[in-house]
Amino acid sequence: MSPRAAATTAREVALQVCRDVFGVQPRGARESLDYRLRASRLEPRDRAFATELAYGAIKMRRYLDFELQPYVGERTKSLPHPIAEILRLGAYQLRAMHGVEAYAAVSESVGLARKYGHKGTAGLVNAVLRRVAADPPREADLATRASLPGWVVTHWRERFGEARLEAILAGVNAPPAAGIVVDRRRLTRDDAQRILAQAGLASTPSPFAADVLILDAGVSTSTIEALGEGRWHLHGEAAAFPVDLLDPQPGARVVELCCGRGNKTLQIAARIGEGGTLLAVDADARKIAENAARLEAAGVSVVSLVTADATVMRAAADADAVLLDAPCSGLGILGRQPEARWRKHPDDPARLAPLQARLLTAASRCVRPGGVLVYAVCSTDRREGEEVVDAFLAAAPAFARTPLPERYAPFASASGDVLVPPGIAGRDGFFIARLARSAAVPMP
């Protein structure tokens, strides 16, 4: 991360995050924001303002450039990077942030332009933002208004229909809902809700995942984690659906492939209890190390972590339940990761599908007769969803889709899988297939 001095205001934190994300060595927005906030001495209210401003300006970059273009014109190509970002941040405050006075948005932006540029750039920022404040928003096409690549909007229109498209686009541009998965070894969901309420934090039980509470989008994640004292962990509601559908029972033998940093590992471990066992595998040694640290902090001892390529692992076919949360294009989490929409390519699903197919085959070799296999991706593209599963089932007659629990009926697809549209009710987009291995049909 850049060694630049710590920011002194919320707007300067947001500027530094935008520069990190779109700099010569691009960073993730969350990584950058966490670093910049730790280096600052901002009060909680200002931290929340910096977060909303940074994430919003990153998401709405295409629309903001469209709004600024008439006033900046050809100068866009020669603007110093910090000045271009200051203009976007100022325009976002004027166009999208309620409760921000136009005078404050303009004058604070001018102050940043003077600090990161000179008198001339400060004058430019002043003139441009005053025009933006005075003029009404320009007419724009849907993809520009939503500040998304056109191919993403087309994909969601084809996938979910015109009737849900506006709600999806609005949702992915709003702050995503926060969620926690409660460690049911240590307290009930009702107990967790009472603890949050005593701290002045309202929460709602998920009507789908039995161990999840949903909180307001603007709540401080650090506050939630501190209150939890290891009894819960942050996790989006839809991201908890795969384990809920896997439904590992106390004492079960479970395998998790592509376990990553451990959100689902912790969720599974809490469900199987001390009498169960969990083998969690990932090819990234850094993720395994982070997973191990989180498990130790949570006092979990039933998990064996392995760094390995799951596609070439030897399997014993003795697991009661297997979860594969496969690497994917991430088209379902564009609302949660602000910069992601600018780093995706329309060919990503086709590029990743062969790997997903190999991983699904590898996962199937771990399942005992009568066992359950859940395949999940945080993508809404059918090439990573139904097409991967359909091809697998055609080649593996021992497996078949199983009926979904009735509570998941709102997300049931025509093929009998779970398809969660992104953005609606603050959720991420997910595809999840629940498969079972027949005890009567031998594996090829």
What whole-number distance in Å separates Cα of residue 59 and Cα of residue 77? 21
Q: For residue 54, what is the enclosing H or E element?
A: helix 44-59
What whole-number distance in Å separates Cα of residue 61 and Cα of residue 84? 11
Contacts of 178 (CB under 8 A, 6+ apart): 214, 215, 216, 217, 219, 221, 224, 234, 236
Handedness of CA 191, 196, 202, 205 (dihedral sign): negative
Q: What are 216's two structure tokens?
A: 């307001």
Q: For residue 368, what is the enclosing H or E element?
A: strand 367-377
What whole-number distance in Å separates Cα of residue 415 and Cα of residue 136? 46
What whole-number distance in Å separates Cα of residue 41 and Cα of residue 291? 30
| Strand 232-234, strand 178-182: pairing | antiparallel
Q: What are 325's two structure tokens?
A: 């949360």
Give the number of other Cβ atoms within 10 Å of residue 18's Cβ. 28
Radius of gyration of the chain (CA): 23
Q: What are 157's two structure tokens?
A: 């229109």
What whole-number distance in Å separates Cα of residue 113 and Cα of residue 3? 20
What whole-number distance in Å separates Cα of residue 279 and Cα of residue 288? 12
Do 185 and 192 meet the contact criterion of CB atoms below 8 Å apart? no
What whole-number distance in Å separates Cα of residue 31 and Cα of residue 406? 38
Q: What are 125's two structure tokens?
A: 């920022």
328 catalytic residue (yes or no)? no
Considering 18, 328, 366, 378, which one is annotated as catalytic?
A: 378
C-alpha distance from residue 70 to each of 79, 142, 307, 431 (Å): 15, 19, 53, 41
Q: Give residue 434's Cα distance to chain centre.
A: 22
C-alpha torsion angle, residues 98, 104, 106, 109 (rounded to 10) = -100
What is the number of alpha carbons within 13 Å of residue 120 lying toward its C-beta?
3
Do 175 and 427 meet the contact criterion of CB atoms below 8 Å apart? no
Q: Which residues are known catalytic residues?
A: 378
